[in-house]
Chains A and B, each alone.
Chain A
């Protein structure tokens, strides 16, 4: 397992640097943007907008995630020894790949959210604000991005399944097409889960310029999303075992 983790760390490390820089710079840029590019002829003067950086940050993160998966497979095609080191049916390899990418993503989301909300609020009320911001980042990461990473792992295994038959491109098109509609379906179902069984959690939601809102969110959709991620991983493992090496 540690060997696979080392291998994955080597692949993920460049993206980690990019994402860490983006998580720091984008909210700051979004915050400073109106001050730099609309210097005060307007009345009342323009207000900084940290939400801009947050939106760009999420878009960039998703693009980076997808691109890192593409590049990873492109490099694999060029380097047969990497293929040799990481057989796809191996559970340890799969878990190492998922856990490192999911950890990077969670770190990125939490950093982006916490930093943006700190900027949006213009003051720090320790430890109340950072903790609530951290929770909201963790919640959104668990609800959306961890299942998304598991789904991408499944996509990779599925496309690889057809590679020997020169049908990988076809499988990729089919999977992406099906994913769009499955996300539609799953998103509706997960969003409709009512939070009546478990007590809700309080997280922070930053809105600019109206301020912040402490809101209650249900636990159940989060657990459903994490369970779904587990199902995707199990499925990816099962498909990986069917690959004829």
Chain B
């Protein structure tokens, strides 16, 4: 590569100087030749400096970081018959829920011999399916990803980390994609809902929440959400309701494309910025589609309420 750069510099300088003193010499042509010669000379000086720096300084190579996700080695199908409730216990894992005829549990194995394999155990109990996984060592850097196929309609879903690893350094994630869930409770996990419908979503101490093209009838969130994103939601006609409370120093990002009703109950340290009203010190950023009707912001005692106005009437 450096050889090509040097060749281009030599060619540029040589041909440029030759053209500069050749017969065609109009002011515009001459000016362009000088500008291009300047660019080549600047590149020559810069390349020279960089080459000099490389010769003099020996830099330590940065160790390569391998990807966080482990390889899936085995998939075990589990029948869904007679099951209308799903309880998941997560340990250092990201679970993806997709529509399908039955649960497919992935047994995942880390390539490093020191790491234990992640095993998922399925148990049936009173019309519900319990999925638990055996935790890896506490200091394990490995993360695992498994996909579970849900029935198209699932009445109840509960996701939580096991008691043994609660308050530990483990990381939990949940992706829900293309399914319909009546009621979902997510505890202490990162959540992404994409192209899905959830009637009632309850988040308890979630880590990070992304709602992409998700229709949420009613959303309640409490605890330490530090990032909350709603992107292009499929908002029901009556407008989605979001309630978030008890969060200090949170960052929220909302982008709505339909009528909505957002109610934020903020902690004493929370900051809110919005461009719906004139910017003030310490305001947060809430924006909607420019095609939306005008928005109304009501600032109460520790709460902020944002309503989309349809035909001059606030929703809902």
Binding site for B on A (CB under 8 A): 43-44, 121-123, 125, 127-129, 154, 158, 161-162, 165, 167, 170-171, 173-175, 177-182, 184-185, 202, 211-212, 214, 235, 238-239, 241-242
CA distance A44 to B104 in the complex (A): 10
Jot down 24 A-B pairs with beta carbons below 8 A, ordered by A.
A43-B75, A43-B104, A158-B29, A162-B19, A167-B22, A170-B15, A174-B33, A174-B36, A177-B8, A177-B36, A178-B16, A178-B35, A178-B39, A178-B40, A181-B8, A182-B35, A182-B36, A184-B39, A184-B43, A202-B287, A214-B231, A238-B27, A239-B28, A241-B26
Which residue in chain B gives the minimum CB-CB distance to A175?
Answer: B36
Which residue in chain A gives the minimum CB-CB distance to B146?
Answer: A44
Question: Which chain A positions have C-beta within 8 A of B287?
Answer: 202
**Would you give the shortest CB distance from B256 to chain A, in whole angstroms?**
10
Select the residue from B15, B26, B42, B75 with max chain A CB neighbours within 10 A.
B15
Contact of A158 among B32, B42, B96 (CB under 8 A): B32
On whether the beta carbons of B16 and A238 are closer than 8 Å, the reply is: no
Identify 19 new A-B residue pairs, CB closer than 8 A, beyond the known A171-B19, A177-B12. A43-B147, A44-B106, A125-B213, A127-B291, A128-B291, A162-B19, A162-B22, A165-B22, A174-B36, A177-B36, A178-B12, A178-B37, A184-B39, A184-B43, A185-B39, A185-B42, A212-B212, A212-B232, A242-B26
Assess whether B301 is interfacial by the CB under 8 Å rule: no
CA distance A125 to B287 in the complex (A): 17
On whether the beta carbons of B231 and A212 are closer than 8 Å, the reply is: yes
On whether the beta carbons of A174 and B232 are closer than 8 Å, the reply is: no
CA distance A167 to B22 in the complex (A): 9
On whether the beta carbons of B257 and A125 are closer than 8 Å, the reply is: yes
**Would you give the shortest CB distance from A236 to chain B, in whole angstroms?**
9
Question: Which chain A positions have C-beta within 8 A of B26?
Answer: 161, 238-239, 241-242
Question: Which chain B positions have C-beta within 8 A of A171?
Answer: 15, 19
On whether the beta carbons of B16 and A174 are closer than 8 Å, the reply is: yes
Interface 1/0s, chain B 33-56, versus A by CB < 8 A? Answer: 101110110110000000000000
The residues in B between 121 and 169 inclusive whose CB is less than 8 angstroms from any CB of A are 145, 147
With A129-B232, A167-B22, A174-B19 as known contacts, state yes or no: A44 contacts B147, CB within 8 Å: yes
On whether the beta carbons of A44 and B36 are closer than 8 Å, the reply is: no
Assess whether B299 is interfacial by the CB under 8 Å rule: no
Question: Which chain A positions have C-beta within 8 A of B35?
Answer: 178, 182
Contact of A165 among B16, B24, B42, B96 (CB under 8 A): B24
Binding site for A on B (CB under 8 A): 8-9, 11-12, 15-16, 18-19, 22-24, 26-29, 31-33, 35-37, 39-40, 42-43, 72, 75, 96, 104, 106, 145, 147, 194-195, 210, 212-213, 231-232, 255, 257, 287, 289, 291
Question: Which chain B positions have C-beta within 8 A of A162?
Answer: 19, 22, 24
Which residue in chain B gives the minimum CB-CB distance to A169?
Answer: B15
CA distance A26 to B29 in the complex (A): 40
On whether the beta carbons of A181 and B28 are closer than 8 Å, the reply is: no
CA distance A127 to B257 in the complex (A): 10
Question: Which chain A positions have C-beta within 8 A of B18?
Answer: 170
With A128-B291, A185-B42 as known contacts, state yes or no: A242 contacts B29, CB within 8 Å: yes
Contact of B29 among A129, A161, A173, A180 (CB under 8 A): A161
Question: Which chain B positions have C-beta within 8 A of A238?
Answer: 26-28
Contact of A128 among B11, B29, B106, B257 (CB under 8 A): B257
CA distance A128 to B15 in the complex (A): 52
**Would you give the shortest CB distance from B97 to chain A, in whole angstroms?**
12
Which residue in chain B gives the minimum CB-CB distance to A122?
Answer: B195
**Would you give the shortest CB distance from A136 to chain B, in whole angstroms?**
15
**Would you give the shortest CB distance from B238 to chain A, in whole angstroms?**
19
On whether the beta carbons of A177 and B15 are closer than 8 Å, the reply is: yes
On whether the beta carbons of A235 and B213 are closer than 8 Å, the reply is: no
CA distance A214 to B286 in the complex (A): 13
With A128-B291, A174-B36 as known contacts, state yes or no: A123 contacts B19, CB within 8 Å: no
**Would you give the shortest CB distance from A134 to chain B, in whole angstroms?**
14
Question: Which chain A positions have C-beta within 8 A of B255?
Answer: 214
With A181-B42, A238-B28, A239-B28 as known contacts, state yes or no: A211 contacts B194, CB within 8 Å: yes
With A212-B232, A235-B32, A238-B28 as known contacts, state yes or no: A128 contacts B195, CB within 8 Å: no
CA distance A78 to B26 in the complex (A): 28
Task: In the A-B complex, list the 7 residue pairs whose CB atoms are closest, starting with the nearest.
Answer: A178-B36, A242-B26, A177-B12, A238-B28, A174-B15, A181-B43, A182-B39
Which residue in chain A gives the minimum CB-CB distance to B96?
Answer: A44
**Would you give the shortest CB distance from A93 to chain B, in whole angstroms?**
17
Which residue in chain A gives the minimum CB-CB distance to B292?
Answer: A128
CA distance A242 to B106 in the complex (A): 72
With A44-B72, A167-B19 as known contacts, state yes or no: A123 contacts B213, CB within 8 Å: yes
On whether the beta carbons of B212 and A211 are closer than 8 Å, the reply is: yes
On whether the beta carbons of A173 and B291 are closer than 8 Å, the reply is: no
